[in-house]
Structure 1
Amino acid sequence: MLKDVFIGLSQNQFLTAAAKKYGLKLGAQTVVAGTNIEETIASIRELNAQGISCTVDNLGEFVFEKEEALKAKNSILEVIESIHANGVDAHISLKPTQIGLDIDYDFCYENLKEIVDAASKYDMHINIDMEDYGHVQPSYDLIDELLKEYDNVGTVIQSYFYRAEDDIKERKDLRLRIVKGAYKEPAEYAYQTREEIDANFIALIEYHLLHGKFTSIATHDHHIINHVIQFVEENEIPLEKFEFQMLYGFRKDMQLDLANKGYNFCTYVPFGDDWYGYFMRRLAERPQNLNLVAKQVFNKRTNTAIGLVAGAFLLGRLTSKKKK
């Protein structure tokens, strides 16, 4: 039930627009690394100084206008140049719908190719994020085309999909981020219970650790992290074959602890003002994430906790007051 609520909120255009306007009041800075490139580079430097690498997401998705898609593409190109110019340890994550997949396939491919080509000149990795089920196969088609010319491309396997086992075997030679999945998908395509998803998540991780190129294990679940640590020790898997990933602003102490213990660690660093849908899906994916962030915000003794604990409701209040 709670997952459905957060998914619904993530797709609410009215609340998304309001979140852009009231982002700072709602504590957006606790879940995004900055609203511009300069702020984001500063956040990346702080993480790098702690032994943590970053993957940078210029927030935005489900774009239906070419002008907006081109703006997103150019922004990503600016981030690539800024990462290189500043010498920080970071690469790019992006969503195909942000750069035109819902507008025209060929238009999206040309935008994506320009991004991958620019990154390849700096030996920079581009991770192509997966979205809802209807966009999965077109996204894989884009990747297959890119792989004919480039080798700096990776993608995501979402463990709640039935097709995930076949997908990971087919793409085992790619650098893969393995996640549980954060969209609301019907039983026709996806597992519905936490137990089924977790079991498949672990199975996919173990398969790729044993047979794949490089595995990014994206989870905040310490039970799964502990399981992975035991698995890699028992199977003598080299540390350079995998990394743990968590979201910016979540479980900071555990992020630092894993990095200090010598594990490769990468923080998913979103930036920009289009943060609301992203954050709501993180809560839908694992409602406990709300507690993780709220505790950290409370520890800072700031009023932003109000926004994180009840962001959707506060947005409604702010916007309704504005109308009066």
Structure 2
Amino acid sequence: MSVITRDLFLYLSNNKTLNRAAQNWGATIASGKIVGGMDFPSSIKFIKELNNEGLSVTVDHLGEFVRSETVAKERTEECIQTIETIVAQQLDSHVSLKLTSLGLDISKDLVYENMMKIMESAEKNKVMVTIDMEDEQRCQDTLSIFKDLKKDYHYISTVLQAYLYRTEKDLDELNSYQPFLRLVKGAYKESPKVAFPEKEDVDNNYKKIIKKHLLNGNYAGIATHDDAIIEYTKRLVAEYNIPKHSFEFQMLYGMRSTTQRELVKEGYNMRVYVPYGRDWYGYFMRRLAERPANIAFALKGMTKK
């Protein structure tokens, strides 16, 4: 049943008719509930509310697979403006982005050019930029670009997905860069040739890379809503005396809000992923596909006052 549910939500995430309809309904259905707003300025008040409760944030302008060089450059300038606004508004926030929104599928030269502009602003303003991981066919390009940029920039991080067979090897190869990594299970539909098809195997690999990364002494963002993974991490850091300041939990805006606040009270760093923009529907469907339990969390979040 979980496989059917996952496939259904992944199918819905790619439905162009529903995507267009959702863009028209987004301000009413999603803003302030599962996304910050339809643009970054309208999201600021929600970010400040989270910050005031001790929750850090990472923001992401939704939208990927850009095919226009003009649009990719517009996304680049919007990201730079977001970084500058974070500093001006004194927000406790990072920035997340997808390389396909900056031209990865157009040309490598274009995405490097755009990323370097963003990173110059990030370094100047001391705002962390996380390169989100996309599907497996773009994984190698993403990691190669991250490695190249990490040589020159400090305020840059990326993501590894536990459901890919290659991930432990990638983690080992990244260790010399002393990277800040967001560790996730993974949300794209992948072939059994490249990804673990069974949830138990994904969970076991997730635990393995969490342990390895933390014991390597590198900062980790453990992005999960799974209580079993949260409890595993707590036991792990207690067993190995890993300081709480050397990692953080990460969760989605509008889901498991009570748990987020409880973790803060327990002294853990907690970062909330706050997406914004009109392309909220595909993002939302992939989050539901990633974990069926998110359906209940999402409905609760979307019906909150």
TM-score class normalised by the smaller sequence: over 0.9
Secondary structure, in 3 states, of the residue corresponding to 2:27? Answer: coil
Secondary structure, in 3 states, of the residue corresponding to 1:23? Answer: helix
Q: Residues 28-55 of structure 1, C-alpha deviation per residue, up to 9 Å, x if partnerless?
A: 5411011122221211111111111111
Q: Distance in 1 between matches of 2:270 and 2:179?
A: 18
Which residue in 1 is equivalent to 2:182?
Answer: 177
Please state how far the C-alpha of 1:297 moved relative to its aligned partner.
Answer: 3.8
Normalising by the residue count of structure 1, what TM-score does the alignment of the two structures yield? 0.90
1:259 correspondence with 2:264: yes
1:231 correspondence with 2:236: yes
Which residue in 1 is equivalent to 2:21?
Answer: 18
Secondary structure, in 3 states, of the residue corresponding to 1:171? Answer: helix
Secondary structure, in 3 states, of the residue corresponding to 2:201? Answer: helix
Secondary structure, in 3 states, of the residue corresponding to 1:262? Answer: coil
Which residue in 1 is equivalent to 2:253?
Answer: 248
Q: Distance in 2 between matches of 1:299 and 1:56?
A: 21
Normalising by the residue count of structure 2, what TM-score does the alignment of the two structures yield? 0.95
Q: Distance in 2 between matches of 1:36 and 1:96?
A: 19
**Which residue type is aligned with residue 220 of structure 1?**
H
What are structure 2's unaligned runs of at least 5 residues?
none
- Of 15, 36, 40, the match for 2:43: 40
Q: Distance in 1 between matches of 2:273 and 2:189?
A: 21
Secondary structure, in 3 states, of the residue corresponding to 1:191? Answer: coil
Aligned pairs for 1:45-124 within 5 A: 45-124=48-127
Distance 1:299 1:30, change over 3 A: closer
What are structure 1's unaligned runs of at least 5 residues?
301-324
- Of 147, 156, 166, the match for 2:159: 156
Aligned residues of 2:29 and 2:302 also touching (Cα < 8 A):
no
Aligned pairs for 1:175-324 within 5 A: 175-298=180-303, 300=305
Distance 1:100 1:233, change over 3 A: same
Aligned residues of 1:36 and 1:271 also touching (Cα < 8 A):
yes
Question: Matched residues, percent identical?
Answer: 43
CA RMSD of aligned residues (A): 1.2
Which residue in 2 is equivalent to 1:308?
Answer: none
* Misfit runs of 4+, over 6 Å: none
Q: Distance in 1 between matches of 2:70 and 2:274?
A: 25
Which residue in 2 is equivalent to 1:303?
Answer: none
Q: Distance in 2 between matches of 1:27 and 1:138?
A: 32
Which residue in 2 is equivalent to 1:316?
Answer: none
Corresponding residue pairs, total: 300
Secondary structure, in 3 states, of the residue corresponding to 2:250? Answer: strand
Please state how far the C-alpha of 1:66 moved relative to its aligned partner.
Answer: 1.2
